[in-house]
């Protein structure tokens, strides 16, 4: 998959694709259905399959003081899009100048002159252009004027009628329901971080941990989780148990994701880890002392082993 981040980078060879357009935060199953339709049309037209998205997420430009909400970093989103067969990712910078483009300018200058798209696929709720004045109906009209086909996709729902959405994935994570999030995403929710040095307190009680921070992404519920971890470019997933929170029993170093990996002893300081959150074990707790904490971690580890062996 080729990633193009600026209009000026787009060559004639990379024009003429069929592209799904949107933010695609999380690349959940609803997003994947939109991309599947784009793939079907691209195959029929013998054109590359593209995705047009924006970095940073437009909401970040206008809500700078809000809590982190993103489900995926731009790199993890790109990995997810590559895994579903996307050929071209147009990851255009969303800045103040871009936000001032009218709906007409976005269609004519970006979709038409720069990308020369053959067909555009959007979700039922796609909004674009200055002051969010562009709608799927307006997209159809404007693209029709310059010879670009448009497909509007409906809301995709689970069997219980609930619509797939990034908002629902965020809700699952903040409410301590990673399995619910995984059902919407089609995979466990994950994040990546660099192992930082800690106070090595875990080593003294027999549970050394890798200390990570979740940066610029949604913050899941504080508590203890069963997890799987990949170390940098290694392909194997290692089981573990993790605590996410502020460590109320010991000294507070801010919000940390502390992972105890099972059956492995390696110096991982400075290494990049990818963590898949599989299941929620319990909320964060404060203990009367280190011995109580140690006993609870032993019980948490046993429970994590059980949960991960069931997967």
Domain identity same for 146 and 237: no
Is residue 164 assigned to a domain? no
Domain identity same for 143 and 191: no
Q: Which of these, 31, 214, 230, lies nearest to 123 by C-alpha position?
A: 31
Domain identity same for 54 and 99: yes
What CATH number is given to the structural domain containing 65? 3.40.50.620
> Phi and psi dihedrals of 173, rounded to 5?
-65, -45
Instruction: For residues 193 and 175, give the distance between their C-alpha atoms in angstroms, rounded to a whole number.
Output: 22
> Phi and psi dihedrals of 68, rounded to 5?
-55, 140
Is residue 174 assigned to a domain? no
Contact 176, 219 (CB under 8 A): no
What pLDDT does residue 66 have?
A: 80
Q: Report the SS3 class of residue 180.
A: helix
Is residue 169 assigned to a domain? no
Instruction: Identify how many contiguous H helices and E strands the chain contains and give both numbers.
Output: 10, 12
Question: What's the number of domains the chain is made of?
Answer: 2
Is residue 163 assigned to a domain? no
Domain identity same for 43 and 133: yes
CA distances from 234 to 155, 196, 237, 304 (A): 37, 19, 8, 22
Domain identity same for 86 and 204: no
Is residue 191 assigned to a domain? yes
Domain identity same for 8 and 92: yes
Domain identity same for 117 and 219: no
Q: Which of 118, 153, 188 is the last residue of a domain?
A: 153
What CATH number is given to the structural domain containing 208? 2.40.30.30
Per-residue pLDDT of the chain (311 residues; tens, 9 = 90+): 999 999 988 999 999 999 999 999 999 999 999 999 999 999 999 999 999 999 999 988 887 778 899 999 999 999 999 999 999 999 999 999 999 999 999 999 999 999 999 999 999 999 999 999 999 999 999 999 999 999 999 999 887 788 999 999 999 999 999 999 999 999 999 999 999 986 655 555 568 899 999 999 999 999 999 999 999 988 899 999 999 998 655 556 689 999 999 988 888 999 999 999 999 999 998 887 788 888 999 999 999 999 999 76
Domain identity same for 19 and 62: yes
What pLDDT does residue 299 have?
A: 95
DSSP state of 130: G
- At 151, list the tokens: 């497909």
Q: Which of 153, 169, 187 is the last residue of a domain?
A: 153
Contact 220, 256 (CB under 8 A): no
Helical residues (DSSP H) of 22-165, grouped into ranges: 29-45, 58-62, 74-83, 96-99, 103-105, 136-145
Return the bridge partners of 3, or none: 89
Domain identity same for 306 and 184: yes
Domain identity same for 32 and 140: yes
Q: Which of these, 304, 225, 238, 247, lies nearest to 274 by C-alpha position?
A: 238
Instruction: Write b or e for each residue in 212-238: b if 16 or more Cβ atoms lie within 10 A of its Cβ, otherwise e.
Output: bebeebbbbbbbbbbbbbbbeeeeebb
* Residue 92: domain span: 2-153
Secondary element (H or E) of residue 178: helix 178-185
Domain identity same for 23 and 139: yes
What pLDDT does residue 156 have?
A: 92
Is residue 281 assigned to a domain? yes
Domain identity same for 82 and 195: no
């Amino acid at each position: 998959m080729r990633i193009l981040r600026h209009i000026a980078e787009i060559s004639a060879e990379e024009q003429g694709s069929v592209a799904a357009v949107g933010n695609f935060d999380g690349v959940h199953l609803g997003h994947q259905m939109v991309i599947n339709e784009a793939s079907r049309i691209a195959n029929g037209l013998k054109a590359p399959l593209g995705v047009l998205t924006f970095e940073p997420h437009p909401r970040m430009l206008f809500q700078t003081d809000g809590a982190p909400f993103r489900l995926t970093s731009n790199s993890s989103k790109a990995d997810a899009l590559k895994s579903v067969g996307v050929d071209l990712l147009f990851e255009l910078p969303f800045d103040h100048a871009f936000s001032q483009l009218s709906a007409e300018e976005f269609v004519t200058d970006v979709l038409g002159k720069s990308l020369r798209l053959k067909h555009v696929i959007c979700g039922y709720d796609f909004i674009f252009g200055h002051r969010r004045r562009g709608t799927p109906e307006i997209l159809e009209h404007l693209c029709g004027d310059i010879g670009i086909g448009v497909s509007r996709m409906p809301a995709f729902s689970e069997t219980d009628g609930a619509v797939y959405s990034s908002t629902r994935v965020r809700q699952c994570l903040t409410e301590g329901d990673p399995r619910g999030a995984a059902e919407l995403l089609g995979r466990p929710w994950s994040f990546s971080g660099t192992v930082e040095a800690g106070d090595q307190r875990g080593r003294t009680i027999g549970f050394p941990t890798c200390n990570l921070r979740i940066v610029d992404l949604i913050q899941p519920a504080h508590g203890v989780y069963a997890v799987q971890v990949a170390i940098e470019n290694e392909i194997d997933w290692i089981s573990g148990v993790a605590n996410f929170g502020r460590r109320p029993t010991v000294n507070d170093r801010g919000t940390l994701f502390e992972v105890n990996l099972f059956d492995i002893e390696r110096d991982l300081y400075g290494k990049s880890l990818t963590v898949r959150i599989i299941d929620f074990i319990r909320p964060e707790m404060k203990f009367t002392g280190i011995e109580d904490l140690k006993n609870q971690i032993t019980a948490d580890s046993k429970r994590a082993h059980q949960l991960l062996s069931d997967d």
